[in-house]
Structure 1
């Protein structure tokens, strides 16, 4: 065993940290022993070397970042010297990145004088060319050993696509390159501080005697935290905000109200998520965890030890509970009275204890949400609820799905490294005026309106954004950007009433837009998009309002289909604008006696219908006017959005704090192979639920950053008649979030990526026919962003605060798209 491997877990730490290890001071050279260009060139006089995680699993980067002295960055930017001199040598004047791959032959040497040197091949240069990072004399051999170990483990993960913990000693030695020639000496620094590159003759500096890095296997028991993971503050290309250095401290606990009944009572080990280190830190070896009923459908979770009360809070959906039976743990969120979020972990002694606690907590949560006793629910419904909140994979997970997930990893990796991303991820919205000057940038409406709704075109590559009583129209360009096309400056009824559309839907090959006035729930309006005005008012029914509406089939908007679906609180019906008088088709009306609180609907390409409610249940129909074929139980949280895959296999529901992915295919019984839309599930069978939620630690970090609770926008699949559903998109606050469907089905623990904006995301959707580009509506901007710009959620990607655009943004006329219109 490598003696240093005991430090590996500490060095890598939690996956929320982007940077694993760092050498804070040194110089970067390129050395060309056989080139006529000169023996060596100094690229960065002052630099830092680090190993970072990327947005892809098993992929890491060696990063060399230039460090500026105070004021130097501004001087370089003014005269442009750095840019000119580095042309053709460095891909970026401030930072160079290298994928940590075996082909680099990365190695670490310690010379007789104690100087530490990192060396790796220049794969784009001539034979024998290599980069050298010459460390500052303050770098210790112990720190160099740690850096070499981390580099070897990263290369192991990339080559074998396995966690580093599985590496044998022999496999790690494969990446030490012990038999390579010593790293040649680069030229000494003999240049003014402003000279970025120095060329030297190969006769000037003969290589000194060098000690090869000790094979990663010599004892270095004296490595300290300050040496292994040094902290520096430097001015870089995109500096992050300073992290809080103080460890996270548990807030004071609320006293438990008087209990009427105890639903769960277990002794557990208590851990609290620490924002500074990105790990769960043990707080107490043994605490008593209880769940009690306190009256009026309210329930209480209390954690106490012999010497103190640790936590007391109501059992509400915001707990974001996750049960992990592999690690015998329960993770949840707690919100203090000042709005801060904390993530707690309870570790149980045995599986039976965790099962009993889960039963009690889920009973409390379900009864609170449904205001119905748990025992009144059917056995299959209770099992469904418990399965949805377990941290488990779908039952039909297999090697083929894992292979598909790995294939997607490789594809994402190729996109990540082979395609350079624009510094501006998408086209920013700015003030529209036919004769505005380029520096006349206004991004706020005087009336205070902001962007609120988005409709992405099916037929003509357009996006439509609602802002108050205005609608902006944007063209999708072939190079995946947005161009402002036109604006509809006033939405008004045929009678002249101006209103802000409550809901919109494109219709009839994107020629029309159906919209609703919130003050007139029994009517809908048709806007002719060629004329940019409302031309029809459709009275649906005097007694049956329209809560929401949806297309007849998944891709009806690509056709001239005139009919579409409508929902009220307790009715589902077809709307046919061609009818005289009321537009509701009476023969295709399904009305329930009780108010079900229908909130959303979606259809498949065959016209099968899924309907969701504020109670949290979902009904599946094969056609209108009849009873549902399948009724999916409620978890208790209102469903605010619904989508269905084109083939009907997957149903996607959105609640405020999580998504629910349901497999509608029956895998056994007499209806095996049939969808829940076509045939009812057998009594002893049930749909397969998968609760898609952010990890509790990420939820805590999100709220720690934004001071606002989670609130997802309606989630959607990417869609198109010739494309399969592969990705799910939603947003909460300033974060766009995508889930990989393949990774979800393969059972990956955190199969999602994020991108943070400077302002809250108001609406989002994929460009039609692809999952590669996303249209995003911010309060005062409209962007198209490449999906590859999203990153794996780490502490750094969650904390990174983008700059807001606004007055003084220098975009060309082609870059300007309209949001305030």
Structure 2
């Protein structure tokens, strides 16, 4: 079949048309040969299959759309529970789905893997007998060419016959769409949703698809495609008797990287026996590499530690790596497993899994590894830490401990999230694309995002400019204006490094690089800086935050600031320096404060680059509660309005902390109000991406994890339900209830082509996320985020420029 590759030049036709090729009639099945749910299910009894271009070059989608009989579509549209997602299924044409075809006893079938299902599950499109064999063969050829373009990022016309053969997966058998019966003639297949059970019969060796001479209408002789079409027909004619059966190349499993030998070491902190598995990118599974290895954590001196994994029988070294935060460690006591990332010298990420024989073995290994990681980050001996601090650290890294009490966990899950889970393996097809080519020429990119609370506005900082955008009633972003050439009152042009909306969103407080002792006030109505404030000659302002959670909705003039070792109030009404001396808490030691956040009542949380967090009920006094560090610097902080939940952002993970006390005389009180008892502690949860997902992300983007500051959704009288952050081109949202209940798959993702610069929820909503990209800003529905699969990691739609770029 690949001898006819030039035929695709004609089949691809006009590059402006969205659909490349289509088959107008067929039936779509999901086949689960080994599932207790039933052998197969007819999803669409009458449907259309097409291959569609996307806005991303060299990316194509396989789209199966339900077809309606006359009057049926109107009836469905009028129903209260009408859902467009039920009428279309979309799949990225990638080699991972192993798209293949066969002709058996006159019936043509296309099949591809269900990436979100169990092993062996496939989708099958059974072509209606009325469709001629030429159309079927052409469709199969175009699918191969699309997969070639996606993998090699170049036109299929440059492909050799051997290169196209790589995308033939005829060695993968296609089970019958229904057991014991021909898929086409099955009398029991009477409608959408029909389930069939039984033992499937074995297929005979499938007949290869032959590609006869094409019969589509020829283009005009003067058209650019005319000669190409003629060449294709000539090639078909000369080779129509050739055997189209091809030898296929098996997709290789992920190979283990070259092991690094363990350096000379001192004390072994732990050594445990386990099974060793390596995550295979192509199959999406962990593959057993060694049934019995010894995993050893050693102290190699100077606060450095080493993890060595060697075969128990022959001593072969499988893996050696420093114990550092980039391991992204995840412990699961339900399966006695430890999953972690390893980054090779060439930057490629691998995901490894150790499975231990029992809970006791995993317990010992966890304590040894966490001791090494904690000592490496804190340069302090683990045994010097308090017992409750050590328990806090160990608990934070366990993914299967609930954070809610039983009575709190009875609330039902959001219906919308469940629907999103059911459709997560497919692509969102209702997004609007801007069709504006090119990139801005100002040399700047969007860097910061400030979302209005009082008014429906978002503000995007871009160099020395600010773009202003309206939030429309239909939850879109609309350009309003641009504030150009930001200058100090003295006329010095600058690009703001930090911004905060203030006083009912009428003003913006900003800071300029290189001057940490001064802040500036911009009047947003006039679009100019109207005041310059010297905060203090000796105390710099590292960052600043509102006096309380919703202070920016009021006329409150004061706000809070922090330096490396001080927390203070700033009052612009004061003459001279603006720091309020009576509300200054300064520490003798360098605490290296990095972030702060406030509750609705004005309670204050302050985090540091050491990784610890202090909770205050007011300024000028000692902290009520000190939450110990896991080790990594905290780069951002948010707090729920009621003060119960604290959200800290580190480079490679988030930390969610329950600040409510559960027992003792202070039961029901927050850590802001009363100190935790000596034998009590906050309840933490480390929110990290699954190491296998990290490996897939890095495989796609070649970028390490680096989270933006995470935020809760927020609004007056609105409960926090969701968390949003981003890393590289991925926006990630966590469902708070799922996290609190230790449910599986608590996060969803949305991928862009470009790096996400900033993100936040629209005020008062957990359904809409505002995303700032280097040259654009948009508002997206959270329901368009997908469950993490290889498909959702791989796709990245190209953005058109928004008007902020055009106007800048």
Residue matched to 2:104: 137
Q: Note the alpha carbon deviations across 1:95-124, whole angstroms, 9 max, x for none.
A: x974799xxxxxxxxxxxxxxxxxxxxxxx
**Structure 1: runs of 5+ lacking an equivalent:** 1-42, 71-81, 102-133, 155-162, 165-184, 195-206, 231-241, 429-438, 807-814
2: CA distance, partners of 1:394 / 1:83? 41
Residue matched to 1:309: 317
Give how far 1:368 is off. Answer: 0.4
Task: Look up the SS of the partner of 1:788 in the other structure.
Answer: helix
1: CA distance, partners of 2:691 / 2:795? 19
Query: Could you tell me which of 556, 565, 590 is aligned with 2:585?
Result: 590
Give how far 1:798 is off. Answer: 0.5
2: CA distance, partners of 1:440 / 1:276? 35
Give how far 1:412 is off. Answer: 5.2
Residue matched to 2:373: 365
Q: Note the alpha carbon deviations across 1:338-389, whole angstroms, 9 max, x for none.
A: 0000000001112111111111100000000001111111000000000001
Residue matched to 1:775: 770
Task: State how 1:432-511 maps to structure 2 within 5 Å.
Answer: 442-446=438-442, 448-511=443-506
1:661 aligns with 2:656: yes
Q: Describe the shift of the 1:139–1:288 C-alpha distance in structure 2 as closer, same or farther (beyond 3 A).
A: farther
Give how far 1:663 is off. Answer: 0.5
Give how far 1:49 is off. Answer: 3.4
Give how far 1:289 is off. Answer: 0.8
1: CA distance, partners of 2:787 / 2:669? 36
**Larger CA deviation: 407-416 vs 700-709:** 407-416
Task: State how 1:629-640 maps to structure 2 within 5 Å.
Answer: 629-640=624-635
Query: Could you tell me which of 744, 750, 755 is aligned with 1:749?
Result: 744
1:247 aligns with 2:253: yes
Task: Look up the SS of the partner of 2:366 in the other structure.
Answer: helix
1:295 aligns with 2:290: no
Q: Describe the shift of the 1:737–1:52 C-alpha distance in structure 2 as closer, same or farther (beyond 3 A).
A: farther
2: CA distance, partners of 1:322 / 1:549? 34
1:66 aligns with 2:49: yes
Give how far 1:398 is off. Answer: 2.6
Q: Note the alpha carbon deviations across 1:276-325, whole angstroms, 9 max, x for none.
A: 11011100011111111111111111111125211111000000001111
1:49 aligns with 2:57: no
Residue matched to 2:336: 328
2: CA distance, partners of 1:61 / 1:84? 14
Task: State how 1:666-677 maps to structure 2 within 5 Å.
Answer: 666-677=661-672
On the 8 A contact 1:753/1:793 being kept in 2, the answer is yes
Give how far 1:654 is off. Answer: 0.4
Length, aligned pairs only: 653
Q: Note the alpha carbon deviations across 1:585-605, whole angstroms, 9 max, x for none.
A: 000000000111111000000
Q: Describe the shift of the 1:289–1:785 C-alpha distance in structure 2 as closer, same or farther (beyond 3 A).
A: same
Q: Note the alpha carbon deviations across 1:71-95, whole angstroms, 9 max, x for none.
A: xxxxxxxxxxx9999998889xxxx
Query: Could you tell me which of 313, 319, 329 is aligned with 2:327?
Result: 319
On the 8 A contact 1:450/1:820 being kept in 2, the answer is no
Residue matched to 1:280: 286
On the 8 A contact 1:729/1:765 being kept in 2, the answer is yes
Task: State how 1:199-218 maps to structure 2 within 5 Å.
Answer: 218=198
On the 8 A contact 1:782/1:819 being kept in 2, the answer is no
Query: Could you tell me which of 508, 523, 528 is aligned with 1:528?
Result: 523
Q: Note the alpha carbon deviations across 1:513-570, whole angstroms, 9 max, x for none.
A: 0000111100100011111111111100000000000000000000000000000000
1:684 aligns with 2:679: yes
User: When the two structures are superposed, what TM-score results if normalisation uses the length of structure 1?
Assistant: 0.72
Query: Could you tell me which of 634, 641, 646 is aligned with 1:651?
Result: 646
Give how far 1:142 is off. Answer: 13
Give how far 1:221 is off. Answer: 7.5
Query: Could you tell me which of 696, 699, 708 is aligned with 2:703?
Result: 708
2: CA distance, partners of 1:394 / 1:318? 25
On the 8 A contact 2:25/2:128 being kept in 1, the answer is no
Query: Could you tell me which of 597, 600, 615 is aligned with 1:602?
Result: 597
Task: Look up the SS of the partner of 1:458 in the other structure.
Answer: coil
Task: State how 1:394-405 maps to structure 2 within 5 Å.
Answer: 394-398=402-406, 401=409, 403-405=411-413
1: CA distance, partners of 2:280 / 2:598? 44
Q: Describe the shift of the 1:245–1:89 C-alpha distance in structure 2 as closer, same or farther (beyond 3 A).
A: farther
Give how far 1:743 is off. Answer: 1.3
Residue matched to 1:256: 262
1: CA distance, partners of 2:249 / 2:340? 24
Task: Look up the SS of the partner of 2:412 in the other structure.
Answer: helix
User: When the two structures are superposed, what TM-score results if normalisation uses the length of structure 2?
Assistant: 0.74
Q: Describe the shift of the 1:803–1:83 C-alpha distance in structure 2 as closer, same or farther (beyond 3 A).
A: farther
Q: Describe the shift of the 1:440–1:98 C-alpha distance in structure 2 as closer, same or farther (beyond 3 A).
A: closer
1: CA distance, partners of 2:31 / 2:594? 44
Residue matched to 2:721: 726
2: CA distance, partners of 1:244 / 1:727? 42
Residue matched to 2:227: none
1: CA distance, partners of 2:68 / 2:199? 43
2: CA distance, partners of 1:470 / 1:511? 17
Structure ranking higher on relative contact order (CA contacts 8 Å, 6+ apart): 1
Q: Note the alpha carbon deviations across 1:451-488, whole angstroms, 9 max, x for none.
A: 10000011111111011111111111111111111111
On the 8 A contact 1:61/1:99 being kept in 2, the answer is no
1: CA distance, partners of 2:632 / 2:650? 6
Residue matched to 1:423: 430
Residue matched to 1:390: 398
On the 8 A contact 2:488/2:529 being kept in 1, the answer is yes
Give how far 1:804 is off. Answer: 4.0
Residue matched to 1:25: none
2: CA distance, partners of 1:600 / 1:270? 40
Task: Look up the SS of the partner of 2:326 in the other structure.
Answer: helix
Q: Describe the shift of the 1:142–1:217 C-alpha distance in structure 2 as closer, same or farther (beyond 3 A).
A: farther
1:519 aligns with 2:514: yes
1: CA distance, partners of 2:693 / 2:293? 24
Task: Look up the SS of the partner of 1:455 in the other structure.
Answer: strand
Residue matched to 1:812: none
1: CA distance, partners of 2:185 / 2:617? 79
Give how far 1:449 is off. Answer: 1.1
Q: Note the alpha carbon deviations across 1:395-434, whole angstroms, 9 max, x for none.
A: 53436525422656457579999xx977335x75xxxxxx
1:537 aligns with 2:532: yes
Q: Describe the shift of the 1:86–1:292 C-alpha distance in structure 2 as closer, same or farther (beyond 3 A).
A: same
**Structure 2: runs of 5+ lacking an equivalent:** 1-21, 54-64, 75-83, 90-100, 120-126, 137-182, 210-247
On the 8 A contact 1:718/1:728 being kept in 2, the answer is yes
Task: Look up the SS of the partner of 1:404 in the other structure.
Answer: coil
Task: Look up the SS of the partner of 1:719 in the other structure.
Answer: coil
Q: Note the alpha carbon deviations across 1:736-759, whole angstroms, 9 max, x for none.
A: 000011111122122111000010
Q: Describe the shift of the 1:587–1:66 C-alpha distance in structure 2 as closer, same or farther (beyond 3 A).
A: same
2: CA distance, partners of 1:619 / 1:382? 18
1: CA distance, partners of 2:567 / 2:620? 8
Task: Look up the SS of the partner of 2:363 in the other structure.
Answer: helix
Q: Describe the shift of the 1:380–1:638 C-alpha distance in structure 2 as closer, same or farther (beyond 3 A).
A: same
On the 8 A contact 1:467/1:820 being kept in 2, the answer is no
2: CA distance, partners of 1:414 / 1:251? 36
1: CA distance, partners of 2:806 / 2:729? 18
Residue matched to 1:177: none
1:347 aligns with 2:361: no
1:697 aligns with 2:692: yes
2: CA distance, partners of 1:299 / 1:725? 39
After TM superposition, what 4+ stretches of structure 1 lie above 6 angstroms from structure 2? 82-91, 138-144, 190-194, 413-417
2: CA distance, partners of 1:61 / 1:409? 25
Q: Describe the shift of the 1:341–1:84 C-alpha distance in structure 2 as closer, same or farther (beyond 3 A).
A: closer
